[in-house]
Amino acid sequence: MPIFHYTARDAQGAETRGKLEAGSRKLALAQLRARQLTPSRLDESGGAAAAPAGGFSLGAFGGGAKRLRREHALPFLRALMGLVTSGIQTADGVKLLSRRLSDPALRALATALWDQLSQGRSLSQAMTAQGTVFDEATINLVEAGEATGRLGGVLERLVADMEERAEIRAKVIGAMAYPAMIVLMAVVVLLIVLFFVMPRIEMLLASLQGNLPLATRLLMGLANFTLHYGWFFALAGATGASVFWAWRRKPEGRLATDRWLLKVTGLGSFIVANDILRLTQSLSLLLENGISTLPALVMTERTIQNRVFRASFAEARGKIAEGAGISTALAGTGLFPPLAIDVLSVGESTGNIVPGLKDVARDFRRQIARQVQVFIGVVSYGALLVAAAFVGLLAFGIISAVFQISASLKAG
């Protein structure tokens, strides 16, 4: 008979661990409930946390697995947060959402999670099986919330962070709409002039025994080159992008590209700021909810997106495990600004580093907002300059052709 290892909480909220024999996960879960234990983890000996083969599939919902994407995480977690913070148990909340959500994709997601929860798995384990929806950082924080029994507070912080990031993305997209439209219109006008207007001007000059001016010939040459060889460059670009993306997905490719990205002016500082924000938010949340320092650092490490930064943080974590202070170890990475290190050092000296972590997170949130505004301004003005260059090139080519026609008519 299979043996199941469990982690559960009793009626007083105390955590207990053990093992039991049962014919299936559902029978093991029933045994735990009979003992008045609420399981947070239930694993069969030698089994993985992921869903077993032949388990629940979203394909039963008309290909729902193909529809689920990262953007479904926020509305689902927002709905679950409302239920959990109102006192409903996590599993009951997910089950309720699987029946009440109106969006088919979200309802399918809730059903998939409930299927895992009903087999005794924790919410974080169930979310791991939905990797297209929930990223590693989100799953780790949910796991920490389950371990401390404060999932409601973790969900509130997660939803607030996701809403903030969604708001930033919306601002960037909204700010880019106008310059993108201007550039698109400029390209359309350029194509119309190159492929429809210029050939007629060329025919007119030929009938008048005149030649196109140099600027106009350059425009016509560009049009002919694009028409005959543009497909080759488009195909080569697509092939190169596919090869690069496949290489980046490998560990060595991800590490190399992440190292290169950190060296790009502006982009590197933005990446570092985002990872420091994630790091400080996650670490403060874990420490605040009772997770000890070393396990919290392990969980926090998995929230860092840039692999070079993650490797540097892993070295710092090793130094902390050997007895070094958090601020001293993080200063050794060379990625934290001195002011942030000073704030963390003050927090360590007072015996409570959580307020310092929150202060650093607040400062980097403001820094990211400023960087986004600068990026929007640079891209907007850059797009307008490109559009102006297109228009100027067209105007010069057309005016040169008109003058040439006028000169040919006078000569005739």
Query: Which one of 350, 366, 382 terminates a domain?
Result: 366
| pLDDT attached to residue 205 | 64
pLDDT given for residue 1 in this prediction? 66
Hey, CA dihedral for 356, 362, 365, 366, is it positive or negative?
A: negative
Identity of the amino acid at 332: G
Q: Dump the DSSP string for 233-245.
A: HHHHHHHHHHHHH
Contact 153, 289 (CB under 8 A): yes
390 in Cβ contact with 296 (< 8 Å): no
**In a domain? residue 144:** no
For residue 242, CA distances in Å to 232, 305, 329, 372 come to 15, 22, 39, 28
Place of tokens 């990446």: 271
- In a domain, residue 92? The reply is no
Q: Quick check: helix, strand or coil at residue 31?
A: helix
Contacts 24+ apart (CB under 8 A), 262-269: 262/306, 262/308, 262/309, 266/371, 266/375, 269/371
User: Does residue 193 form part of some domain?
Assistant: no
Can you list the residues of the chain whose pLDDT is less than 50?
Answer: 46-66
Give 185-193's long-range contacts (Cβ < 8 A, gap of 24+). 185/387, 186/386, 186/387, 186/390, 186/391, 187/390, 189/390, 189/391, 189/394, 190/390, 190/393, 190/394, 193/219, 193/394, 193/397, 193/398
- Does 346 fall in a domain? yes
pLDDT at 247: 93
Residue 348 in domain: yes
> Could you tell me the pTM of the whole model?
0.67
Task: Report the pLDDT value the prediction gives residue 411, as an integer from 0 to 100.
Answer: 62
Residue 305's domain comprises: 268-366
In a domain, 298, yes or no: yes
| Cα 107 to chain centroid, rounded | 23
Question: How many Cα atoms within 13 Å fall on the side-chain side of residue 155?
Answer: 22
Number of domains in the chain: 2
| Residue 171 within any structural domain of the chain | no
Quote the pLDDT of residue 257.
93
Residues in the chain: 412
With respect to residue 299, please indicate whether it lies within any of the assigned structural domains: yes
CATH of the domain at 353: 1.20.81.30
pLDDT at res. 376: 81
pLDDT at position 260 is 93
